[in-house]
Protein backbone atom coordinates (compact mmCIF):
# COMPACT_ATOMS: atom_id res chain seq x y z
CA UNK A 1 0.00 0.00 0.00
CA UNK A 2 1.43 3.34 -1.09
CA UNK A 3 1.61 6.02 1.57
CA UNK A 4 3.02 9.52 1.74
CA UNK A 5 2.72 11.19 5.11
CA UNK A 6 3.68 14.82 5.63
CA UNK A 7 4.55 16.43 8.95
CA UNK A 8 6.10 19.60 10.32
CA UNK A 9 3.48 22.18 9.45
CA UNK A 10 2.22 24.74 11.91
CA UNK A 11 1.93 28.40 12.77
CA UNK A 12 5.03 30.55 12.34
CA UNK A 13 5.67 34.27 12.37
CA UNK A 14 6.83 36.11 9.24
CA UNK A 15 10.57 35.70 8.85
CA UNK A 16 10.53 32.39 10.67
CA UNK A 17 11.45 28.89 9.54
CA UNK A 18 9.83 25.48 9.33
CA UNK A 19 11.02 22.11 8.12
CA UNK A 20 8.50 19.84 6.46
CA UNK A 21 9.06 16.10 6.25
CA UNK A 22 7.43 13.42 4.15
CA UNK A 23 7.89 9.70 4.73
CA UNK A 24 7.09 7.35 1.87
CA UNK A 25 6.27 3.66 1.73
CA UNK A 26 4.91 1.09 -0.69
CA UNK A 27 6.97 1.98 -3.78
CA UNK A 28 10.58 2.25 -4.94
CA UNK A 29 11.28 5.66 -3.48
CA UNK A 30 14.65 6.26 -5.13
CA UNK A 31 13.15 5.85 -8.61
CA UNK A 32 10.69 8.70 -8.19
CA UNK A 33 11.00 12.42 -8.56
CA UNK A 34 9.85 13.83 -5.25
CA UNK A 35 8.02 17.12 -5.24
CA UNK A 36 6.41 19.54 -2.85
CA UNK A 37 3.27 21.34 -3.94
CA UNK A 38 1.16 23.86 -2.07
CA UNK A 39 -2.38 25.12 -2.28
CA UNK A 40 -3.45 28.37 -0.72
CA UNK A 41 -7.11 29.13 0.01
CA UNK A 42 -9.06 29.75 -3.20
CA UNK A 43 -5.97 29.22 -5.34
CA UNK A 44 -4.79 26.40 -7.57
CA UNK A 45 -2.23 23.92 -6.39
CA UNK A 46 1.28 24.96 -7.43
CA UNK A 47 4.64 23.24 -7.64
CA UNK A 48 7.07 24.51 -5.01
CA UNK A 49 10.13 22.29 -5.48
CA UNK A 50 11.28 18.98 -6.92
CA UNK A 51 14.27 16.67 -6.53
CA UNK A 52 15.69 13.65 -8.35
CA UNK A 53 19.20 12.55 -7.49
CA UNK A 54 21.15 15.74 -6.92
CA UNK A 55 19.05 17.80 -9.32
CA UNK A 56 16.62 20.25 -7.77
CA UNK A 57 14.25 22.88 -9.08
CA UNK A 58 12.20 25.59 -7.39
CA UNK A 59 9.36 27.95 -8.05
CA UNK A 60 10.63 31.50 -8.54
CA UNK A 61 8.63 32.60 -5.50
CA UNK A 62 10.66 30.39 -3.13
CA UNK A 63 14.14 30.40 -4.69
CA UNK A 64 16.77 31.33 -2.14
CA UNK A 65 14.41 30.71 0.77
CA UNK A 66 13.36 27.05 0.47
CA UNK A 67 15.57 23.97 0.15
CA UNK A 68 14.37 20.52 -0.86
CA UNK A 69 16.36 17.43 0.08
CA UNK A 70 15.86 13.69 0.27
CA UNK A 71 17.24 10.67 2.07
CA UNK A 72 16.71 7.57 -0.04
CA UNK A 73 17.88 5.28 2.77
CA UNK A 74 15.04 6.54 4.96
CA UNK A 75 12.47 7.10 2.19
CA UNK A 76 12.20 10.71 3.30
CA UNK A 77 11.94 14.04 1.54
CA UNK A 78 12.24 17.38 3.29
CA UNK A 79 11.45 21.00 2.63
CA UNK A 80 13.39 23.54 4.67
CA UNK A 81 11.54 26.84 4.56
CA UNK A 82 13.28 30.01 5.71
CA UNK A 83 12.30 33.68 5.66
CA UNK A 84 8.66 32.69 5.53
CA UNK A 85 6.13 35.21 4.29
CA UNK A 86 2.36 35.42 4.83
CA UNK A 87 1.91 34.49 1.17
CA UNK A 88 3.57 31.14 1.90
CA UNK A 89 0.47 30.18 3.90
CA UNK A 90 -0.96 27.03 2.31
CA UNK A 91 -1.46 23.33 2.65
CA UNK A 92 1.78 21.68 1.55
CA UNK A 93 1.62 18.33 -0.22
CA UNK A 94 4.30 15.74 -0.86
CA UNK A 95 4.12 14.07 -4.27
CA UNK A 96 5.97 11.13 -5.81
CA UNK A 97 6.16 11.28 -9.59
CA UNK A 98 7.31 8.87 -12.26
CA UNK A 99 6.58 8.29 -15.91
CA UNK A 100 3.89 5.76 -15.08
CA UNK A 101 2.41 6.78 -11.78
CA UNK A 102 2.20 9.45 -9.16
CA UNK A 103 1.13 9.52 -5.54
CA UNK A 104 0.03 12.26 -3.18
CA UNK A 105 0.10 12.78 0.54
CA UNK A 106 -2.78 14.36 2.43
CA UNK A 107 -0.94 17.56 3.18
CA UNK A 108 0.23 19.60 6.14
CA UNK A 109 -0.93 23.14 6.87
CA UNK A 110 1.57 25.98 7.11
CA UNK A 111 0.29 29.30 8.42
CA UNK A 112 2.55 32.35 8.39
CA UNK A 113 1.06 35.08 10.52
CA UNK A 114 1.93 37.45 13.32
Residue-wise pLDDT for 19-58, tens only, equals 999 999 999 999 999 999 999 999 999 999 999 998 999 9
Residue 32: name the closest of 99, 104, 90 by CA. Answer: 99
45 alpha-carbon distance from chain centroid: 12
Reported as a pLDDT band with limits 50, 70 and 90, residue 95 is very high
In angstroms, the CA 108 to CA 3 distance is: 14
- Which is nearest to 107 in space by CA: 24, 31, 36? 36
**Closest CA relative to residue 89, chosen from 110, 61, 67:** 110
- Note whether 76 and 84 are within 8 A (CB): no
| Phi, psi angles (nearest 5°) of residue 17 | -130, 150
pLDDT grade, residue 2 (50/70/90)?
Answer: very high
Amino acid sequence: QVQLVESGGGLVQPGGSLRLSCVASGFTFSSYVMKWYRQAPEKERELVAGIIGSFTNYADSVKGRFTISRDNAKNMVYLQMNSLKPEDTAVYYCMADSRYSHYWGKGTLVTVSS
